[in-house]
Structures are given as C-alpha cells and as structure tokens.
C-alpha cells in the first residue's frame, strides 16, 4: 500500500482511523473521539481520515439476521430484550 500519510497542512496532526461500520465498538470509539475533540482547544488542527475495515470478511453480503439478532450471535453476548 503506497498511500500518502501526510496531513493536508503542515500545522495539522493527521489521525488515520480504520473502522467497520457494523462494529459497535468502532462506533463507541468514534463517539469518544468526537467527545475528546470537542474538549480539545486545538481541535481545528486535527485532521481525521477514515478508512473502511471489514472485521469479518466471511460475513455474507445478504446477512440473514438483523443487527439486533446478529450482533449477540457474533459477539457471544446475551440477546437483548425486545422493545415494545
């Protein structure tokens, strides 16, 4: 991979993040980063570059389960109680 990892501007810090849109922990990390940047006085000097990453390449494109049912199965978590 010969991608350039240079910030758009020399006075910026570039942060490269690889994330899977179906990963709940990636979402938690994204929200925590957003919260931290909101509190960082020099957040204008931070450049975030998002890259896609597939955690489980063996997952079929047409997955038979929805996220609520499929996530506990893929993470060994207890299924959530259905909401009314």
Write the pLDDT tens digit of every residue in 21-75.
Answer: 778 888 999 999 999 999 999 999 999 999 988 777 777 677 565 656 655 555 5
Could you state, in order of their start, the residue ranges of all structural domains in the chain?
A: 11-54
Closest by CA to 18, choosing from 43, 57, 52, is 52
pTM for the model stands at 0.58
List, in order, residues 6 or more apart from 13 with CB less than 8 Å away.
7, 45, 46, 47
Which tokens belong to 12?
């910026």
- C-beta separation of 38 from 30 below 8 A: no
Q: Which residue shows structure tokens 């922990």?
A: 25
């Amino acid at each position: 991979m010969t991608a350039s990892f240079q910030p758009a501007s020399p006075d910026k810090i570039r942060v490269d993040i690889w994330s899977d849109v179906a990963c709940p922990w990636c979402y938690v990390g994204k929200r925590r980063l957003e919260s931290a940047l909101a509190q960082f006085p020099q957040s204008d000097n931070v450049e975030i570059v998002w890259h896609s990453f597939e955690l489980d390449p063996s997952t079929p494109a047409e997955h038979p389960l929805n996220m609520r049912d499929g996530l506990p199965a893929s993470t060994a978590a207890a299924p959530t109680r259905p909401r009314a």
